[in-house]
Amino acid sequence: MKRANIILIILLMTAALVGLLSMQLYWLRSASSFKETSFRRSVNDAMAKVVFKLELLEKRKAAETVPSNGMLNFSSHLNYDAFINYRTLDSLITLELNIRGIDTRYEFGIYKPENNEFMLENSIQYHQQLISKGYAFQLFTTDIFTSPEYLLIWFPSERQFLLTDLWGMLLVSIVLIVVIVYSFSYTITTLLRQKKLSEMKNDFINNMTHEFRTPIASISLACETLGDKDISKSEEFIDSYIHMIGDEAKRLALLSDKILQTAVIEKGQLKMKRNQIDLHVIIREVVKSLLIQVEIKDGEILTSLKASPSIVEGDPVHLTNLVYNLLDNANKYTPRKPMIHIDTENNGNGILMTISDNGIGISKTDQKKIFQKLYRVHTGDIHDVKGFGLGLNYVKAIVDEHRGKISVDSELNVGSTFKVFLPYRIPEH
């Protein structure tokens, strides 16, 4: 997929995500506003009922205490302590609030603004909150001889109560938002990973084409030469060309095996033999096979094999390939006079093998990715380093199969050091 298309998809998905989040937030805000309005309406209805009952109690009590002249005085009300106390008023308020589904803590009092005093109250700690934040309901509106008095009620946990009432919807919204954000992030990550994988596969195909083309061309040329009747052919001449064809055929087989090994590893079908192997013998054999290539570049391979015992349990073929790949990389990525050191030492319940070089080094970013399949370190101006990006991925798989560990420490233009730990015996799963 083209970079422009990926950017367009990211922008569209970002816009859609922002839109969905905005709608969710707007919906939550609207629901909260609706709940708040509904709460206020319920409080108003409940307090209107309380005020009505309060006035009704006062009238009944007043009727029981008729003046001596037999006339009722409806122009002023009795003192509160004559017909009600704060416990009775508290019960009335609780009853009416519970009927309307309001079950949260409240403070109340009967306040007279003219004297700035509370005529009746359930607590003396919240006077200021009742006056500044409470709901106010006028009492005895027919009383024309006394200044207005108000029933004040304040809910300290009003906001928490409303959020608790909205908790179900809020939880669903949070879950949906998390799912949307995760899906968006996962999709973007997948797109970028697929793009990178596509580029790596194209690079792999190009490298594979070049790698296969050279031996095929050599074999074709040798066959044409041997088949050309105009060229005189001595026995030595024929043998050299046949030997070349054989070498190139082995090279093709080796390249094919690398690709097949990767397919086997990816499918989890890698099978290993468990033999007792002298790691030092393997190292010496690999060093011997690679020494000529290193010496051509005026380099050296120095060994310091100190591990004793040096016997590990493992597959001889795969362990040979492991050592070969690491030494071959050390040689390939050291353009001039490679100085390759390979050391072994006993470490706990296994052997620690260290392979270091004075090559071009690996950046910190690349060090995190070099064991990934098809990943190849950028070599800057060096274009003669061949490979599929499969070697270190294969090495990591073999180390894991032997229940070992591998790490790399490198610095650009200084060199790299690979450390491989192999246990004496492979632990069971």
- pLDDT tens per residue, range 277-305: 999 999 999 898 888 888 888 999 999 99
Query: Which residue ranges form the domains of the chain, and what is each CATH number?
Result: 3-165 (no CATH), 168-266 (1.10.287.130), 275-423 (3.30.565.10)
Cis peptide leading into residue 309 (ω within 30°):
yes
Give the separation between CA 52 and CA 65, rounded to whole angstroms.
20
> pTM (2 decimals)?
0.48
CB atoms within 10 A of CB 277: 19
- Check: CB of residue 6 under 8 Å from CB of residue 192: yes
* Chain centroid to CA 230: 69
What is the per-residue pLDDT for 412?
A: 87
Is a pLDDT exceeding 80 seen at residue 5?
no
What does the mean pLDDT of the chain come to? 81
The beta strand positions in 232-390, using DSSP E, are 275-278, 300-305, 311-314, 339-347, 350-356
β-bridge partners, 117:
112
Encode pLDDT of 298-349 as tens digits: 999 999 999 999 999 988 888 888 898 899 889 888 888 999 999 999 998 9
How far does the chain reach from its first CA to its final CA, in angstroms? Answer: 41
Give the separation between CA 268 and CA 58, rounded to whole angstroms.
88
Give the separation between CA 355 and CA 419, rounded to whole angstroms.
7
Encode pLDDT of 89-124 as tens digits: 899 999 999 998 888 899 999 998 888 888 888 778
Give the separation between CA 292 and CA 290, rounded to whole angstroms.
6
The better pLDDT of the pair 90, 225 is held by 90
- Two tokens, residue 313: 């349990």
Averaged pLDDT, 35-41: 89
Averaged pLDDT, 261-282: 75
Give the separation between CA 293 and CA 192, rounded to whole angstroms.
39
Sole residue written with tokens 């990550």: 189
Question: Where does the pLDDT of residue 382 fall: very low under 50, low under 70, confident under 90, or very high at 90 and above?
Answer: very low
Nearest one of 214, 211, 216, 219 to 245, comparing CA atoms: 219
> 43, exposed or middle or buried, with CB in 10 Å at 0-12, 13-18, 19+?
buried
Nearest one of 242, 326, 315, 252 to 283, comparing CA atoms: 326
Give the separation between CA 1 and CA 4, rounded to whole angstroms.
8
Averaged pLDDT, 146-162: 87
